[in-house]
Structure 1
Amino acid sequence: MGNSIVKSQMEDVKNFLGNSVAAFEDFLNNTTIKDLEAEKQGNVNYYKSILSHVRKLLVYCEEGLDTCVIILKSEPFQKGAAEKTLYRIYHQCIEEFFSPKNDAWFENSRSAYTGKNSIHFHEEVPDSLKTMFRQLEGDFQRIREELEYYETDYRTKMIQSK
């Protein structure tokens, strides 16, 4: 891929991460376990697990955003570093959004065919949580589709270097 294409993708991902960070921060800064319980009685440990992973996603997105800003400011543009960063963002941010390691929620892959949201929770959760995920999911899906190239390209390069 040419430098201009990779740089353009970095700009797009930087903007996406900035919006995601703002949404995660807004939710986390205004929501406590007590707020979630008041909104909908449920499994407190499950709510804690969800909030814990949302915090991790926030950190991953902040780190990715910081790295994007640094790479985009560097002259000359470091295509290799940008591609590696986009690969890392794909795994740490995008894949963790759809399929968190702590299994707090999951992606219903069939939802693409039904036009419904793909994030599903194992237990009932308050509407505020569902709303935040619904608002973010479209952009996460769009960026996932754009960055899937780096997943296959990086693996191909790793296999060829052996």
Structure 2
Amino acid sequence: MGNRLVNSQLNDVKEFLSKTITTLEDFLNETTITKLIEDIEDDRTYTKLIFANLRRLIVYSEEGLDACSIILQCEPFQKAAAEKTLYKIYHQCIEEFFSPKNDAWFEDSRSAYTGRNSIKFYRNVPASIARLLNSLEGEFQRIREELEYYETDYRTKMIQTK
């Protein structure tokens, strides 16, 4: 891929991560588990699990945003570093959103064909959590499609250099 295309993708991902961080921080700063439990009779442990995953997603997103900012400031543009960063963001942010390590929720891949949201929860969750993830899903899906190239390309390059 050309430097311009990688640079453009890095800028796009940087903007996406910035918006995602703002949305997640606003939600977490304004919401408490106690308040959510009042709104719906729910399992406190499960809600804490969801919050833990949202916090992890913020941390990964902030790390990715910092990396994008640093690479975009470098002259000349470091294409290899940018590709490695996009690969890392794909795995730490995008994949974590659709398939969190702590199994707070899961992706129903069949939903993509029906036009519905693909994030599903194992238990009932407060409506505000469902709305939050549904509002983020479209952009995560768009970025995932853009960065899937790095899943195979970067791995191929690493195997070839061994």
Do both proteins adopt the same fold according to a TM-score greater than 0.5, normalized to the shorter chain? yes
Q: Hey, what does 2:12 align to over in structure 1? A: 12
Equivalent position amino acid for 1:9 in 2: Q
Which SS does the other structure have where 2:41 is aligned?
coil
Cα offset for 1:39? 1.6
**TM-score calculated relative to the size of structure 2:** 0.98
Describe the superposition over 1:134-154 as per-residue Cα deviations: whole angstroms up to 9, x where unpaired. 110000000000000000001
Cα offset for 1:100? 0.3
Q: Hey, what does 1:48 align to over in structure 2? A: 48
- Map 1:26-41 onto structure 2 (within 5 A): 26-41=26-41
**Residue 107 of structure 2 is aligned to residue 107 of structure 1:** yes
Equivalent position amino acid for 1:36 in 2: L
Q: Hey, what does 2:90 align to over in structure 1? A: 90
Q: Hey, what does 1:22 align to over in structure 2? A: 22
Q: Hey, what does 2:124 align to over in structure 1? A: 124
How far apart are the structure 1 equivalents of 2:159 and 2:11?
A: 29
* C-alpha RMSD of the superposition: 0.6
How far apart are the structure 2 equivalents of 1:63 and 1:36?
A: 28
Note the residue ranges of structure 1 that are not aligned, 5 or more in a row.
none
Matched residue pairs, number?
A: 162
**TM-score calculated relative to the size of structure 1:** 0.98
Q: Which consecutive segments of 4 or more residues in structure 1 shift more than 6 A?
A: none
How far apart are the structure 2 equivalents of 1:28 and 1:102?
A: 18
How far apart are the structure 2 equivalents of 1:158 and 1:85?
A: 14
Describe the superposition over 1:67-103 as per-residue Cα deviations: whole angstroms up to 9, x where unpaired. 1111101111110100000000000000000000101
- Map 1:139-154 onto structure 2 (within 5 A): 139-154=139-154
Q: Hey, what does 2:136 align to over in structure 1? A: 136
Cα offset for 1:159? 2.1
How far apart are the structure 2 equivalents of 1:118 and 1:74?
A: 38
Equivalent position amino acid for 2:23 in 1: A
Cα offset for 1:161? 2.1
How far apart are the structure 1 equivalents of 2:152 and 2:138?
A: 22
Describe the superposition over 1:44-70 as per-residue Cα deviations: whole angstroms up to 9, x where unpaired. 000000000100000000110111111
